[in-house]
Amino acid sequence: MRKLFTFLCAALMSVGMWAEPITVTWNSADIPTDGSGNSFTKDGVTITCGGIDWDYPDFSGNGTFTTDLGNFTKIEVTADMCDMSGDGWSWDENTPNMTWTGNAASVSFGGGMYIISSIVFTIEPAAEPEPLFEISYEDKWLKVNPTDGEGQYFVFVEDKEYYDNRYIQYDQPTMQGYMDFVVGKVFGMSAQSNFVFSGEKDIDPDPIYHTWYDNDHLLINHDYVAFVFKIANDARTSDIEYLILTYEGEPEARAIEHVALNVKQAKKVVVDGQLYIVRDGKLFNLTGAQVK
């Protein structure tokens, strides 16, 4: 049968070992003269220190640079005067400037830097974690396989146009905020059996959408987004992974799965709402025909 695969989002792609370093530059003009407090953040980098004189600017009284972008490999401070101390800091020859080198997401310093012209941060990007799920849309089934094979996961199907118009972004904070809302609503109306799965599954996406939107069903040749994430104790426990798919219509009758066929005596079993007979390790329908 023809297989239709849609693309996985960039969030599922690993940055990889050849990712280009990130450069973040703070110029003196970037530091507001009307700032307040003892911390400053710009472009994913934060300094927290004993005191900030926003007019000059000065960072002093010991402090720490932190980032969630990855690991610092170099910090170059250009200022009228520097007296930082600590592991990794060194003077630039014949200048008042200082440079830190190393590999860390947090860099501390003693002392301070005064009348700053610029601070340039070189950052090695953090590698994206391996995806928790293999997700594809194949033969009209939404196929989900947790890579660790453990625990329960939540699947939610949303109209892509609706999501794009309302939320726009597919970053973790945006998706997590929406999915946390959805999880709360689903468990609040005791409908989790339609959304929560475990193990490798071929899932009909329409009942998920239908349950959430009551009488609405998926439209053929329309784009949807399937959001998948780990869940435990009625709450999300992982980042969101997602797949954009074009709905192809109702899948064929679900394959018979996980039926024990090693029973010697005949017995009745129900698989996906259908009654079958198991006899001598073989499966038969009610007309007596063997089911392959």
> pLDDT tens digits for 224-269?
999 999 999 999 999 999 999 999 999 986 544 444 444 445 666 6
* Whole-number pLDDT of residue 84: 94
As annotated, the residues of the chain forming the CATH 2.60.40 domain(s) are 129-246
Look at residues 3, 1, 2, 12 and name the one whose alpha carbon lies nearest to residue 227: 12
**Could you read off the pLDDT of 109-148 as tens digits, one per residue?**
999 999 999 999 999 998 877 899 999 999 999 999 999 9
Per-residue pLDDT, 74:
98
**CB burial of residue 139 (10 Å; 0-12, 13-18, 19+):** middle
Domain 129-246 indexed as CATH 2.60.40:
yes
User: 97-105: long-range contacts (C-beta < 8 A, 24 or more apart)?
Assistant: 99/74, 99/75, 100/72, 100/74, 100/75, 101/73, 101/74, 102/72, 102/73, 103/71, 103/72, 103/73, 104/71, 104/72, 105/66, 105/67, 105/68, 105/70, 105/71, 105/72
Q: How many CB atoms lie within 10 A of CB 93?
A: 6
Which of 198, 178, 290, 201 lies closest to 254 in space, CA to CA?
A: 201
Cα angle 106-112-118, degrees, rounded to a multiple of 5: 80
Mean pLDDT of all residues belonging to the chain: 87
Cβ(142)–Cβ(195) below 8 Å: no
Q: Count the neighbouring beta carbons within 10 Å of the beta carbon of residue 153.
A: 24
The answer to whether residue 8 scores a pLDDT higher than 50 is: no
Whole-structure pTM value:
0.53
Element (DSSP H or E) covering residue 208: helix 205-212
Question: Does residue 14 register a pLDDT over 60?
Answer: no
For position 225, what pLDDT does the model report?
98
pLDDT in the model for residue 128: 77
Q: Do 191 and 214 form a contact (C-beta atoms < 8 A)?
A: no
